[in-house]
Amino acid sequence: MRSPPRHPQLEVLYEDNHLLVVNKPAGLATMGLPQGQPTLLSVAKDYVAGKYGKTGNVYLGITSRLDAPVTGIVVLARTSKAAARLTEQFRTQVVEKVYWAIVEGRPQPDQAVWSDYLADAPRYRSVVVVPADTAGAQLAELEYRRLGRSGIDSMVEVRPRTGRKHQIRVQFAHRGHPLVGDIKYGSKRNFPHVALHARMLVVAHPTRDETMTFVAAAPESWKTLDLPPELRRTAFSIG
């Protein structure tokens, strides 16, 4: 039997003895698939094993996740101490997260804070906006600002204030502005994946008194979008 295909590349943004920071491609789940199916975690373990000649089990802890069709920064911990400390930073929401998204239409106003209550819809494997008193509802809050146009769509910068499942995708779709390519939440656009990118992440280094800022270039697929020249230059730069 042939071995299952492995993802051919891992774009490493930063690594040291405690951290491995990567720019996740679209279509690769962070973790949680049946054994033998490639995930970001398994690809990253292969990378560490190959680079450092490790023959036994490679430890990597997932401290942040992205949906499979979403691109951008994911931080993995190379030690259990780093994993615990980074996980606590995400849990207490002291991590600064910046996403870029291409959304259908033009959200109004051009800058705002949105607050909604979200709940799982297991039947549809999705998340929905619900009244605050719904059983299991969780508060979801984000801040956004419109950066410019992408044809008839808008490019927005999003700073989540909470970390709910599918939060950005659901909150924009709920207001009639699904993310381009997000078929699950109502997009009619032909795009190879969800146009949501984890652009920047700011964390405290788990063992050093140092603030770490990571920036990830947008995926090559975004080059097919009608971005203004100044946004196009910025999107594919990490400087």
Residue 41 to residues 51, 148, 149, 167, Cα–Cα distance (Å): 15, 34, 35, 23
Residue 118 near residue 169, CB atoms below 8 Å: no
Res 45: pLDDT: 93
Q: Which of 4-18, 65-79, 101-115, 180-194 has the lowest average pLDDT?
A: 4-18
Q: Is 12 helix (H, G, I), strand (E, B) or coil?
A: strand
Name the token pair of 58.
Answer: 């490679």
- At residue 8 the predicted structure's pLDDT band, cuts being 50, 70 and 90, is low
Res 239: pLDDT: 60
pLDDT of residue 59 exceeding 70, the answer is: yes
**What phi and psi, each to the nearest 5 degrees, are found at residue 220?**
-60, -30
The catalytic residue positions are 67
pLDDT of residue 2 exceeding 60, the answer is: no
Tell me the C-alpha distance between 52 and 70, whole Å. Answer: 29
Q: Is 71 helix (H, G, I), strand (E, B) or coil?
A: strand
pLDDT of residue 4 exceeding 60, the answer is: no
Which is more confidently placed, 237 or 137? 137
What is the total residue count of the chain? Answer: 239
Name the token pair of 231.
Answer: 């946004």
Residue 100 to residues 96, 97, 121, 167, Cα–Cα distance (Å): 14, 10, 26, 14
* Tens digit of each residue's pLDDT (9 = 90 or more) over 198-232: 999 999 999 999 999 999 999 999 999 989 888 89
pLDDT of residue 42 exceeding 50, the answer is: yes
The one-character DSSP state at 89 is H
